[in-house]
Structure 1
Amino acid sequence: MTTKFFDRLSDDLIRFFESGINYDASIEVGEDTDIYKVHSIVLRLRSPYFKKKFDEITFNDDFVKVLKLPKISVKVFNVIIKYVYGGIISLEKLENSVIFELLIASNELELDELINHLQTHLVYNNASWLRLNFAQVYQTSYQVKNFVIIQEFYNDIIAKHPNTIFESENFYSLPEDALISILKRDDLQLDEGKIWDYAIQWGKAKNPTLPANLDEWTSDNFLILKKTLKRCLPCVRFFSIPGKDVVEKIYPYQQLLENQLFLDINSKIIAPNRTITTSLVLPPRKVLITILPTRRNTPIPLSSKIITNEHALEISSWIDKKESAYIGNNPYDFKLLVRGSRDGFDVKTIFDICDQISNTVIILKVKDTGEILGGFNPLEWNRETNQLKKTEDSFIFSLKTSFWSNSVLSRVNENSERAICSYRRDFKFGFDHALCLRGNLKTEKKCVCKFSTLYLQPIRPFKFLAPKYTTPEDRCLFSVDEYEIFEILSNSI
């Protein structure tokens, strides 16, 4: 068995940086120029950007290589340099705008691991901020490379709510790659005739010298627009456009199309059942039909001493894997099964009461910190045997409180045998190592959150996280003031 002591290694390397001993390079950061004394060998190993830059820079008279990064703020570089040396990053005290600034800087410095982590953090923990800053962040995500996770997040929203972008004042400045990525979506919820209209409008906006009156256009004018839309036109599903729209919308711009394509569009109108073999026929877009469950007239009131109705709506949206929290009516009833102050705090009690019940949420109010932690278990509890259980639908979380500025969601990232760990005879229950409950939750300080390979997003601050394979320090262990377990029931009739 191999034991890895990463924490000690990380601390030692950070102290090495802070000491400034044997430094051979300095980095001038920000407009006011804070100077960081660094070791080029460390930065070369961690980043292709630093390797290239330090290869290009020559030593000055003091045998030091000087690199200037005026566009990166000191606040952001403080985070980056600790990540480079120690492999650690703490985001809980950073504003979302700073985290996004950190993402842009990480991209510039080619810190691939950090790029993916920061995007995932924003998408899963700060989706509301991303929506609020849609225009700025979406534009930026296509102006720089590697922001694929954020791009997919926004494109999912646009596909379902196309007016978000097509009717916004930022539409005409949309980068070409961004527009193409939207037009390629099979689930874009927009009539194909409207898609054609928007493509034409976007192309015209890129060529403001084109005549406003189409009757005044020359062949050269059409050629200019055709070149502008060269990559967009193949994304339009022409054979899904009704005949009336073809006459009203396509005919005036027929010079933008290849002759054969225009002939095939016309022949499809005349003979709808005729098979087209000379032009590419893209399948119709998938229309999403949302069937809302019938609500009870009087939903069961939430019976909780820990969470609010808003918390319950957020948890319900996570169960349904929605991008944003439900508002108003909750599609689920939270049926209280166990409450510590009423039924007892032993994990054994949980197993006895919840035996054979599936789809449950456990809510914990952490003693001293006031954190609200929890997890969703879609599988049945079993009081008879110790089990490791497989599922791809479980998740753990920390809810927004005075302790956390935003809720934190961490889904199981693979269909693992250890997604749910159930040890009734040992008075122990957990979501892999990420959230473990043991013994008496109130009188024994044995609960812990550890680093996990299955639930990658920690739900507690890093100072409270325990290493996976070593005995947790006392500061990482916690007990609870209260806990509740709810069975999640659909409130449809």
Structure 2
Amino acid sequence: MPTKFFDRLSNDLTQLLEDPIDYNVSIEVGEAPNNQIFKIHSYVLQSRCPYFKKKFNETPFNDDHVKVLTMSDISVKALNIIIKYIYGGIISLEKLENSFIFDLLITSSELELDELVEHLQTFLVNNNAPWLRLNFARVYQTSYQIKNFKIIQDFCNDIIAKHPNTIFESDKFHTLPEDALISIITRDDLQLDESKVWEYVIQWGKSKNPTLPTNLTEWTSDNFITLKKTLKQCLPHVRYFSFSHEDVLDKIFPYQHILDPKLFLDINTKLMAPDRTISSTILPPRKILTKTLPTRNTRFLLSSHIVTDEHALEISSWIDKKEIPYTDSNPYKFELIVKGSRDGFDIKTIYEICHKVSNTVIILKVEGTGEILGGYNPLEWNKVNSVWKVTQDSFIFSLKTVNQKYSILSRVKNFKFGIGYFPCYSSWFSFGNSLILRDNLKTSKECYCRDNLSNSSYEKPIRSAEFLSSIHNPPSSDKSTFNVEEYEIFKVSKRK
């Protein structure tokens, strides 16, 4: 067996990149003054990257015997990582943001770096699955727009199989590519009754033909032919022989003209004479789990347009003071009781609706920054008296988003000033002096977070330093004050 000295080879080639002797390619990336020029060797890139091999063949040498390329659709940071990978076969992802890694994956695919594409997908699925779920719509759509995303496609399809509402009840369903829909409905473990699969397939087909009459009684034979052509590749994957008698009558019969006549006859034959032999292929019934799975569609689980079920699991873990967070079954039910766009943004409204309600979580989406801030109040709300209340269990937080890699949890440390009710004093509510909500959350721009003073009621700030106030009651013109784009308050209770 030959001895392989890959480490030394990698190191030597990396040194060649850092000291580009006899380079013959110049790649300019970015715009001045932040642009950067990479001096590289065509033989290295051509042997490692099919994209550059084609590009170099199309690009002539200039008078200095250098091929000059300009790449405007890639960042300096991304190309720097990719060039180092091409030369040395080394890449480190641990300190990179998930959104950047996903963009790097897209770029790697465009550069036809199949080995790197596979590695980045595996890294995201194995190490950053919560981020993929949080950004599911974008991730899933991208996985079918760009080739070689099989690992992420399978990851997404596994989620959809267990939680079909994630895609079938989303506003992105009608834009689903045909091959994506087929990859879902071919799965044996898709947790949907077959009649629902049929309904969604019909719904998808109609969406591709918006001129079809709304009322089925008005359809002509040409209308059925149009729908049949649209669904030609999908129809063979429906498990027709798993339908109940009622569903055949109610759901298949109205659309019988899009099926092959022999198949429709066989469907009816099996219903009336189950033991009779037929020529149509009988697909096996789907493997429906006996245990009911919670939907992944967060709007059904939480009735929320701000937080996801992963966020809810994280908050529930904090409530129970778990060191290891919940990852699947949530022991708490989140009941939406107040919502800004529905009930109004005035603090007085919150006091009126939440009076005497305990164990509540308030979620705030900050206008302009996309931050998701909030807090857990275990005590009953009080709309009558202005008072500080003692608690050892309250906490405030900022949740991970596309722009924030990790959530921040800050527990109460000065129990005497855990929760502040002040309905009669400028209508404000506070988690100590760390998160203060005042007046109209949407328009007054008087909400703010204090910095971590020695007398702070909570362990640490939940916003970055640039957005913290060093004084009490800063003016609305201050950078630390903010308006709320939307807020939601949930009553949290143990599931039975």
TM-based fold match above 0.5: yes
Query: Which residue identity does 1:285 align to in structure 2?
Result: R
Cα 1:177–1:249 change in 2 (3 A) is same
TM superposition shift of 1:289: 2.7
Among 272, 279, 282, which residue is 1:270 paired with?
272
Match of 1:178 in 2: 180
1:170-209 to structure 2, matched below 5 A, reads: 170-209=172-211
Query: Which residue identity does 1:112 align to in structure 2?
Result: D
Match of 2:14 in 1: 14
Match of 1:284 in 2: 285
Cα 1:291–1:197 change in 2 (3 A) is closer
Structure 1 residues without counterparts, runs of 5 or longer: 293-307, 315-323, 330-404, 407-493
Match of 1:354 in 2: none
Aligned residues: 308
Query: Which residue identity does 2:29 align to in structure 1?
Result: V
Query: Which residue identity does 1:14 align to in structure 2?
Result: T
Cα 1:328–1:146 change in 2 (3 A) is same
Match of 2:26 in 1: 26
Cα 1:328–1:257 change in 2 (3 A) is same
Match of 1:73 in 2: 75
Cα 1:311–1:83 change in 2 (3 A) is farther
Query: Which residue identity does 2:282 align to in structure 1?
Result: V
Per-residue CA deviations over 1:119-154 (Å, capped at 9, x if unaligned) read 011001000000000000000001111111111111
1:454-465 to structure 2, matched below 5 A, reads: none
Distance between the aligned counterparts of 2:191 and 2:79, measured in 1? 42
Cα 1:31–1:71 change in 2 (3 A) is farther
Among 48, 53, 57, which residue is 1:55 paired with?
57
TM superposition shift of 1:170: 0.8
Contact 1:313/1:326, CA 8 A, preserved across alignment: no
Distance between the aligned counterparts of 2:217 and 2:277, measured in 1? 34
Report the secondary structure of 1:286's partner residue: coil
Per-residue CA deviations over 1:254-301 (Å, capped at 9, x if unaligned) read 11101101111111121123232x211111111123499xxxxxxxxx
Contact 1:30/1:72, CA 8 A, preserved across alignment: yes
TM superposition shift of 1:72: 1.5
Cα 1:26–1:326 change in 2 (3 A) is farther
Report the secondary structure of 2:68's partner residue: strand
Q: Is 1:129 the equivalent of 2:128?
A: no
Match of 1:365 in 2: none
TM superposition shift of 1:21: 2.0
TM superposition shift of 1:313: 5.6
Give the TM-score normalised by structure 1. 0.59
TM superposition shift of 1:97: 0.5
Match of 1:409 in 2: none
Per-residue CA deviations over 1:129-184 (Å, capped at 9, x if unaligned) read 00000000000001111111111111111111111111111111111111100000
Give the TM-score normalised by structure 2. 0.58
TM superposition shift of 1:3: 5.0
Cα 1:31–1:108 change in 2 (3 A) is farther
Contact 1:162/1:189, CA 8 A, preserved across alignment: yes
Distance between the aligned counterparts of 1:328 and 1:75, measured in 2? 42
Report the secondary structure of 1:35's partner residue: strand
Contact 1:313/1:327, CA 8 A, preserved across alignment: no
Match of 2:156 in 1: 154
Distance between the aligned counterparts of 2:170 and 2:292, measured in 1? 28
Query: Which residue identity does 1:28 align to in structure 2?
Result: E
Distance between the aligned counterparts of 1:198 and 1:21, measured in 2? 61
Per-residue CA deviations over 1:394-415 (Å, capped at 9, x if unaligned) read xxxxxxxxxxx78xxxxxxxxx
Per-residue CA deviations over 1:328-380 (Å, capped at 9, x if unaligned) read 59xxxxxxxxxxxxxxxxxxxxxxxxxxxxxxxxxxxxxxxxxxxxxxxxxxx
Give the superposed CA RMSD.
Answer: 2.5
Distance between the aligned counterparts of 1:176 and 1:291, measured in 2? 28
Contact 1:29/1:69, CA 8 A, preserved across alignment: yes
Match of 1:368 in 2: none
Distance between the aligned counterparts of 1:2 and 1:40, measured in 2? 29
Match of 1:221 in 2: 223
Per-residue CA deviations over 1:47-99 (Å, capped at 9, x if unaligned) read 12222221222223332223333222212111101100111101111110000
Distance between the aligned counterparts of 1:220 and 1:113, measured in 2? 48
Distance between the aligned counterparts of 2:63 and 2:168, measured in 1? 57
Distance between the aligned counterparts of 1:311 and 1:104, measured in 2? 35
Report the secondary structure of 2:44's partner residue: helix
Structure 2 residues without counterparts, runs of 5 or longer: 294-319, 333-404, 407-496
Query: Which residue identity does 1:212 align to in structure 2?
Result: T
Query: Which residue identity does 2:103 align to in structure 1?
Result: E
TM superposition shift of 1:8: 3.3
Among 120, 131, 139, which residue is 2:141 paired with?
139
Cα 1:264–1:144 change in 2 (3 A) is same
Distance between the aligned counterparts of 1:275 and 1:108, measured in 2? 51
Among 229, 232, 235, which residue is 1:230 paired with?
232
Per-residue CA deviations over 1:8-67 (Å, capped at 9, x if unaligned) read 332321221122321111223346653222111001111122222212222233322233
1:8-407 to structure 2, matched below 5 A, reads: 8-30=8-30, 33-276=35-278, 278-290=279-291, 310=322, 312=324, 324=327, 327-328=330-331
Report the secondary structure of 2:264's partner residue: helix
TM superposition shift of 1:212: 1.5
Give the percent of matched residue pairs that are identical in Structure 1 and Structure 2.
Answer: 67
Query: Which residue identity does 2:19 align to in structure 1?
Result: S
